[in-house]
Amino acid sequence: MTGTPRVTEGTSARPAPQINASELRGEQLSTIPPGETQTIRIGYGISAADAKNVRVEVRGPNSSDRPAIFEGAVS
């Protein structure tokens, strides 16, 4: 998968701000072969009031790929 995840917060689905990219140590998403996994750290500023309603969407490299989506609470 490529690109930056789209992260929204709260019932109004406001875009969550990403932390300073220099703090991410250059970690980036890349293509993941079938059966493999990939872990990276990316930080977003999500308010405590909106932490119960977060959506993270990661799109694949092709427009026909279905996105990976997480919806729920974070702590």
pLDDT of residue 1: 42
- The boundaries of the domain holding residue 66 are 1-75
pLDDT in tens, 19-74: 865 555 556 667 778 898 887 778 899 999 999 999 999 887 778 888 889 999 99
Q: How many structural domains is the chain composed of?
A: 1
**Are residues 14 and 42 in contact, defined by beta-carbon separation less than 8 angstroms?**
no
Measured at the alpha carbon of residue 25, what is the angle toward residues 20 and 26, in degrees to the nearest 5? 95
Whole-prediction pTM value?
0.71
